[in-house]
């Protein structure tokens, strides 16, 4: 193959931009790479496996009696809450792993190939939706085992799961941005937790909002995580679609519109 | 108009690389400090320099991985800053450190790179199989790279650079750290690549390697090209070999130096600690005269040896300072020894 004559550089027809089709193709190839890596190192799925199981058990039995009188009545409240919290938390790993990955030599090759510049990022983030899917399935399964029977039916539960996965994918662009600008993987973890902790706990995920002081209620009500939790509860528990779903999707879209360009720009500027 | 286009075209096909005044500064360190370079299509161009000279930084700029702070460069006539995407379609890059995915197998790596370059699933698979066969990696195709030796990794890295059959290939220290047998295999591969019509720009710390492979070389030091020319021309300017004399008695060393300079008619380099005198040996015949004169002057010799020019001598002669011992990689020194013996 080496001995085949190559086309001289001056005789080649070349373009100085990537087409949308190429961006999509490159992204899927990069996502394939991400999946292969997950398959090679399944131990990195520990967190998405254990967290839904432990959190669901723990929070349900700790808060169940206090908040809803008993565990069974608490399940329709807590399962959507835990689902949102767990899956969004999982998306931090995306940023951390991106930071680790970018320091490896293979990223130099990606940068020297005539591919869409965004593909190494978008592919990694797309592959990570597999992690969110695992976390979603496990959380619902744990709920089911503990007696949760969502009245919205399987179709709406599936929709709720997809909504959470899509929103987490959008949020993962924030952590991808941290991943690109941070110096070390552990600092990505640190910053991301700092952002995410108040967002997920200062929400309606675990307790009814009307039990909180009024200044806190204000924050909890504008917190996009609360809207996502409510949207999931509506879908799973009653099979209804309300404003909260719309607000969640708009929030996700806003994150994507702001953070994809920011992240790609930071990625290209980094040497 | 037509005339301009014609002459443009000619320039494009003649030169694979044209760099003018490339500069890259890291903090206050001018890693590359105004490098000019012209590489003719279809040739091997060697960039020779010690650790930290700026070789990798130069290659990273030419291969669009790093933006130059000043200067410009064109690859087959395409500007590296304005048309990076076109440049990337014309080059293959094998970096100093393997740029392949450690967690994946050799086949998976090559398939992913092939798919990224637009090959179909079937074509990508075939390409991977062919390249692995070509580089003698078929046996190890399914193993994760963590279990690969340095030489295997290098070969896979080079294979990955050849998927798109690029007309220009950058090789950053392709044989550093390889054993002599693997090194000569790499040399054969490089020669075959050029036969197929590729142009190659390689960096090396070994004069020996540049000597074996390159049509022209640039010697760089502290970010500057200090000599550029054909290998023969460079060697002639240093003296084909150098003569090393160890003097028995400390106090004779200055006299001995003067004597050597008188008889051979060349400048010498003296190191008092080791009582060694080094001088370029352009004319071997004069050494007989030198030995006789030393005897007449009553200067006792402890040891005498003749060495082919090494990078150290090239540097001593051209820059007046030696190659600084590598801080980051103590192995380099050993490899250098090996290169001298080879
Ligand atoms: N990313 C970087 N940040 C800071 N300094 C760098 C960086 N890359 C290289 N250097 C410095 O630039 C100089 C040239 O390095 P390099 O191009 O790697 O040399 P060579 O490849 O010839 O060994 C060295 O002094 C090195 O320390
Ligand atoms: Mg280097």
B306: number of CA atoms within 13 Å, CB side?
A: 9
Quick one: pLDDT at residue B334?
A: 34
Q: How many domains does chain A have?
A: 1
Spatial distance between the Cα atoms of A92 and A53, rounded to a whole number of angstroms: 18
Q: Angle A129-145/A20-40 helices, nearest 10 degrees? A: 60
Within 8 A of B65 by CB-CB distance, chain A residues are 108, 111-112, 271
pLDDT tens digits, B137-173: 998 888 888 888 888 888 999 999 999 999 999 999 9
Task: Look at residue B245 and give its three-state secondary structure.
Answer: strand
**Residue B33's beta-bridge partner residues?**
B23
Q: Could you tell me the two tokens for A219? A: 């924050």
A4: in domain: no
Output phi, psi for B19, to 5 deg: -115, 140
Q: Write out the residues of chain A at the interface with chain B, using a CB-CB cutoff of 8 A.
A: 1-12, 14-18, 22, 25-26, 29-30, 32-33, 36-37, 40-41, 104-115, 119, 271
Give a yes or no: residue A18 inside a domain.
no
Q: Among residues A31, A266, A135, which one has the least CA distance to residue B112?
A: A31
Q: Extract the tokens encoding B307.
A: 């060495």
Q: What is the DSSP letter of B273?
A: T
Contact by Cβ (8 Å): B45, B201: yes
Q: Where are the domains of chain B?
A: 5-235, 240-308
Give backbone dihedrals phi and psi of B64, rounded to 5 degrees, phi first. 65, 15
Per residue in A243-261, pLDDT (tens digit) is 999 999 999 999 999 999 9
Which residue CA neighbors atom 8 of ligand 1 most closely? B57
The Cα–Cα gap between B177 and B150 comes to 8
Tokens standing for residue A53? 């199981």
What CATH number does the domain located at B5-235 have?
3.40.50.300
Asked, for residue A178, whether it belongs to a domain, the answer is yes
The reply to whether A17 falls in a domain is: no
Q: State residue A13's pLDDT score.
A: 76
pLDDT given at position B176: 87
Residue with CA at minimum distance from ligand 1 atom 12: B31
Other CB atoms within a 10 A radius of the CB of residue B337 amount to 11
Domain spanning B240-308: CATH 3.40.50.10540: no
Distance CA B117, CA B89 (A): 9
**What residue numbers bound the domain in which A77 lies?**
25-32+42-270
For residue B162, list chain A residues with Cβ-Cβ distance below 8 A: 1-2
Nearest CA of chain A to the CA of B189: how many Å? Answer: 8
Q: Where are the alpha helices (DSSP H) in A182-238?
A: 185-201, 214-222, 224-233
Atom of ligand 1 nearest to the CA of B96: 21
Q: Which two tokens stand for residue A66?
A: 């206090």
Which pLDDT score is estimated for B267?
Answer: 81
| Run of H or E residues at B228 | strand B224-230
pLDDT at B327: 40
Say how far residue A211 (Cα) sits from the centre of its chain: 29
Contacts of A185 (CB under 8 A, 6+ apart): A96, A97, A99, A100, A179
pLDDT in tens, A24-35: 999 999 999 999
Residue by residue, pLDDT tens for chain B (342 residues) are 344 444 444 444 689 999 999 999 998 899 999 999 999 999 999 999 889 999 999 999 999 999 999 999 999 999 999 999 999 999 999 988 888 988 899 999 999 999 999 999 999 999 999 999 988 899 888 888 888 888 888 899 999 999 999 999 999 999 988 888 888 889 999 999 999 999 999 999 888 888 889 999 999 999 999 888 887 777 666 656 778 888 888 888 888 888 888 888 888 888 777 778 888 777 778 889 999 999 999 998 888 988 766 656 666 777 666 555 444 333 333 333 333 333
- CA-to-CA separations, A207 to A167, B89, B116, B226, in angstroms, rounded: 22, 56, 48, 73
Order of strands across the sheet that contains B78-79:
B29-40, B15-26, B70-75, B78-79
The confidence score (pLDDT) of residue A47 equals 79
How far from each other are the two terminal CA atoms of chain A, in whole angstroms?
A: 34
Residue A51 lies in a domain: yes
What is the Cα–Cα distance from A228 to A249, expressed in whole angstroms?
9
Environment class of A155 (CB within 10 Å of its CB; exposed 0-12, middle 13-18, buried 19+): exposed
Residue B47 Cα to ligand 2 midpoint, Å, equals 11
Partners of residue A36 in chain B, C-beta under 8 Å: 103-104, 108, 112
CA distances from B337 to B213, B319, B333 (A): 19, 21, 7
Contact A105 B115 (CB under 8 A): no
Task: Using the atom order of ligand 1, give the atom closest to the CA of residue B59.
Answer: 17
A122–chain B nearest CA distance, Å: 14
Closest partner CB to B77 (pick from A10, A29, A112)? A10
pLDDT for the residue B321: 62
- pLDDT range class, residue A149, cuts 50, 70, 90: very high
Strands B216-221 and B44-48: parallel
Contacts of A45 (CB under 8 A, 6+ apart): A38, A131, A134
pLDDT of residue A126: 95
Nearest Cα residue in chain A from B110: A33
Which among B8, B93, B103, B142 is the top mutation candidate for probing chain A, defined by the most A β-carbons within 10 Å of its own β-carbon? B103
Using the 8-state DSSP alphabet, how is residue B283 labeled? -
Q: Is B265 helix (H, G, I), strand (E, B) or coil?
A: coil
Residue B322: name the closest of B334, B338, B310, B330 by CA: B310
Look at residue A96 and tell me whether its pLDDT is greater than 70: yes
A20 class by beta-carbon count within 10 Å (0-12 exposed, 13-18 middle, 19+ buried): exposed
Rounded average pLDDT over A161-190: 93
How much is the pLDDT for B97?
A: 84
The structure's pTM equals 0.81
Query: What radius of gyration do chain B's Cα atoms show?
Result: 23
Report yes or no: B9 at the A interface, CB cutoff 8 Å. Answer: yes
Domain-embedded: residue A5 = no
Q: How far is the CA of A11 from the centre of ligand 2 (A)?
A: 32
User: Does A20 reside within a domain?
Assistant: no
Give residues (CB < 6 A) around ligand 1: B 26, 29, 31, 49, 51-57
Residue B95 has its nearest CB partner, among A7, A29, A105, at A105
CA distances from A78 to A82, A168, B161, B245 (A): 6, 18, 52, 86
In Å, how far is A24's CA from the nearest CA of chain B? 11
In a domain, A92, yes or no: yes
- 8 A C-beta contact, residue B51 and residue B326: yes
Between A90 and A15, the more confident residue is A90
Please name the member of A1, A26, A40 whose beta carbon is closest to the beta carbon of B130. A1
């Amino acid at each position: 193959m080496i001995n085949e004559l190559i086309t001289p550089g001056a005789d080649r027809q070349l373009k100085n931009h990537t087409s949308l089709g190429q961006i999509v193709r490159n992204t899927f190839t990069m996502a394939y790479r991400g999946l292969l890596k997950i398959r090679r190192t399944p131990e990195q799925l520990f967190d998405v496996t254990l967290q839904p199981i432990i959190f669901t058990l723990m929070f349900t039995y700790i808060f169940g009696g206090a908040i809803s009188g008993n565990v069974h009545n608490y399940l329709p409240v807590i399962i959507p809450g835990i689902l949102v919290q767990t899956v969004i938390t999982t998306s931090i790993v995306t940023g951390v792993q991106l930071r680790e990955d970018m320091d490896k030599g293979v990223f130099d090759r990606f940068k020297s190939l005539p591919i869409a510049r965004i593909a190494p990022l978008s592919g990694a983030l797309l592959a990570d939706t597999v992690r969110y899917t695992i976390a979603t399935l496990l959380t619902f399964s744990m709920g089911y085992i503990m007696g949760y029977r969502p009245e919205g039916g399987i179709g709406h539960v599936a929709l709720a799961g997809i909504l959470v996965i899509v929103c987490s994918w959008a949020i993962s662009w924030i952590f991808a941005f941290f991943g690109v600008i941070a110096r070390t993987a552990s600092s990505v973890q640190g910053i991301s937790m700092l952002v995410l902790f108040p967002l997920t706990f200062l929400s309606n995920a675990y307790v009814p909002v009307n039990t909180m002081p009024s200044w806190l209620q204000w924050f909890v009500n504008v917190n996009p995580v609360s809207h996502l939790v409510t949207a999931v509860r509506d879908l799973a528990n009653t099979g209804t679609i309300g404003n909260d779903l719309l607000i969640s999707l708009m929030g996700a879209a806003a994150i994507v519109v702001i953070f994809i360009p920011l992240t790609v720009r930071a990625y290209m500027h980094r040497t | 108009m037509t005339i301009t286009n014609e002459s443009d075209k000619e320039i494009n096909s003649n030169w694979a690389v044209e760099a003018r005044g490339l500069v890259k500064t890291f903090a206050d360190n001018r890693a590359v400090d105004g490098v000019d370079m012209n590489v003719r299509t279809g040739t091997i161009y060697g960039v020779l320099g010690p650790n930290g000279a700026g070789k990798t930084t130069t290659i990273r700029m030419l291969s669009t991985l790093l933006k130059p702070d000043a200067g410009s460069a064109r690859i087959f006539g395409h500007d590296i800053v304005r048309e990076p995407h076109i440049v990337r379609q014309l080059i293959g890059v094998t970096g100093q450190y393997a740029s392949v995915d450690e967690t994946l197998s050799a086949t998976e790596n090559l398939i992913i790179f092939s798919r990224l370059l637009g090959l179909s699933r079937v074509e990508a698979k075939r390409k991977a199989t062919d390249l692995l066969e070509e580089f003698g990696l078929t046996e190890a195709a399914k193993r994760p790279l963590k279990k690969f030796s340095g030489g295997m990794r290098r070969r896979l890295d080079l294979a990955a650079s050849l998927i798109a059959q690029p007309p220009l290939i950058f090789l950053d220290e392709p044989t550093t750290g390889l054993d002599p047998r693997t090194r000569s295999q790499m040399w054969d591969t490089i020669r075959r690549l050029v036969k197929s019509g590729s142009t190659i720009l390689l960096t090396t710390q070994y004069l020996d390697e540049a000597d074996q492979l390159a049509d022209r070389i640039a010697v760089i030091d502290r970010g500057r090209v200090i000599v550029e020319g054909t290998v023969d021309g460079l060697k002639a300017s240093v003296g084909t070999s150098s003569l090393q004399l160890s003097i028995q008695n400390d106090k004779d060393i200055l006299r001995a130096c003067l004597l050597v300079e008188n008889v051979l008619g060349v400048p010498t380099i003296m190191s008092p600690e080791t009582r060694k005198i080094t001088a370029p040996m352009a004319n071997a015949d004069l050494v007989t005269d030198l030995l006789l004169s030393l005897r007449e002057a009553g200067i006792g010799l402890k040891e005498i040896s003749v060495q082919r020019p090494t990078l150290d001598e090239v540097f001593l002669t051209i820059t007046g300072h030696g190659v600084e011992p590598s801080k980051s990689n103590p192995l380099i020194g050993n490899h250098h020894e090996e290169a001298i013996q080879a």
